[in-house]
Chain A
């Protein structure tokens, strides 16, 4: 399946990746190449085949609802680009 540049721009927006206008043509071509290869799947009849999500057919393990972690905020925030008053800072969202 081929995708056009407008679709790539939309996907890039969904994925929150800026794509420079000079890169969009080449990116579209590469992704079209990958999707063409992937489309070999469509030739196979998979009706009635149960999708395999976990190779051991395991489902999410549940645990007791109790606190097991200690508070390590200082360590975790030490690697953040910008923090203030124990909060992560981002550009202003609401005026």
Chain B
């Protein structure tokens, strides 16, 4: 089964072959009929979506145009949406209705995109399987007994199932790329600071980055175009010119130098994934690219460094959930200490608590140098590996994940095994680089993703490389039978 891409829908809207109201009704009907099997959407806002679609159709009738005008999207439930519950997959924010939109959401709205609802995710984006959600796990549409990946698992599952033309996600250690790989769609994590973090509920502030998930690279280019840009209200937003991401999609790949890190093809990589990824690399050779073996020697330290830095920053960020200003509050607190400790015990899930405690430990007196500072030094070494590699290659490619989607429940009692599933994606966040995942085949009827990594602010180049591959292959057109 094949579904129209976002770009195709955009062209049909432009020609007047279809209206935004029609598209919105279709997607809402699909969500209603099929999402009970996937649990990928936490909140559907049908009435408001149809009102937005009507407004988009009116704007178009008045002569306005725009690639996203009238395009129905879903947002990960970690982006604040004014007047719409934003839960972050947590009991803590089950009752939280933000009074403002995240900048990324506001930009997409301004471009005319319609919001269908909010997608399931791991609690506060902490997880690799979507099983850490207060609302229960989302399921993989290719096999509903398996995980969709995480933390943007709901967004990836929903796009793969055809519940929206595209979706937003966030990626702190792989949370866009890994679920995109496991669900057989295209996902892009931009350079750190490229998309505003304002209103994107914070997990690890030096790593978090929002980005698009969609069927194709062409679709991701259209979404990123609207999402990207400097935001004075985000103190870490990059003051860097935004490229025209669609303009270079068709550029020739002749002479493109692709680095293959030998550390990404070693022990622990599923043989079927290795085969699919190597077949994709052969396509790149056929497109004129040159493959070069490289080394990123500190790769094995990405998981330990990440699991100090991310929890440390999380422990600081999540201190704001105190039962006082918004969100959950325990019943009948005896005193202030009881209010804080019981609110946080009752409303945070197990993985979030573990990370807060690990982070608190790493930042506590006497341990700072051994943990946080050490991890930041290793972070420098990891970034230097990439910068050195980019002296001799244009892009880096390898598998997005070591394994295809695993069975729900398989790793929930082994946090470290779960962490190791992100071994190829974490270092990209530590280095602040842009990365993509593109579907390149199947192993045991489960999708496989190729990861593309580029230098800072090379999103246009990544999208170009992904698009050219998608022009000569059809993996991105495959859709699960629901």
Residues of A within 8 A of B (CB): 3, 7-8, 11-20, 27, 30-31, 33-35, 37-42, 44, 46, 49-56, 58, 60-61, 63, 72, 75-76, 78-82, 88, 90-93
Contacts and interface: CB of A to CB of B under 8 A. Distances in A.
B265 interface: no
B306 to A, nearest CB: 9
Interface of B: 95-99, 191-193, 206-207, 232, 235-236, 238-239, 298, 300-301, 303-305, 307-308, 315, 319, 322-329, 333-342, 344-345, 348, 353-354, 356-358, 360-361, 364, 370-371, 373-381, 383, 415-416, 419, 429-433, 456
A15 B206 contact: no
B360 A15 contact: yes
Contact of B300 (A30, A40, A76): A40
A63 B232 contact: yes
Given A33-B415, A34-B307, A90-B324, A55 B97 contact: no
A56 B339 CA distance: 39
Which of A11, A17, A18, A33 has the most C-beta atoms of chain B within 10 angstroms of its own C-beta? A17
B415 A34 contact: yes
Given A20-B345, A37-B307, A54-B236, 11 more contacts: A16-B344, A34-B419, A40-B300, A41-B305, A41-B378, A50-B380, A52-B379, A52-B380, A55-B379, A91-B334, A93-B335
8 contacts: A19-B345, A20-B345, A27-B357, A55-B192, A58-B193, A61-B235, A78-B99, A91-B339
B432 A41 contact: no
A80 B339 CA distance: 14
B126 to A, nearest CB: 13
Contacts of B381: 44, 46, 49
B354 A17 contact: no
B325 A80 contact: yes
The B contact surface, by secondary structure, is helix
The 10 closest A-B pairs by CB, nearest first: A55-B432, A51-B376, A81-B329, A46-B377, A18-B345, A18-B341, A52-B380, A75-B99, A49-B377, A16-B340
A52 B383 contact: yes
Contact of B431 (A55, A79, A90): A55
Contacts of B360: 11, 14-15
B304 A12 contact: no
B357 A15 contact: yes
Find the residue from A19, A46, A92 having the highest chain B CB count within 10 A.
A46
B334 A38 contact: no
B323 A81 contact: yes
Contact of B333 (A3, A44, A54, A91): A91
Given A41-B304, A44-B301, A49 B357 contact: no
A51 B236 CA distance: 18
A56 B379 CA distance: 12
A47 B243 CA distance: 39
Contacts of B307: 34, 37-38
Contact of A37 (B99, B193, B304): B304
A33 to B, nearest CB: 5
A15 B315 contact: yes
B345 to A, nearest CB: 4
Given A38-B371, A53-B206, A76-B99, A91 B338 contact: yes
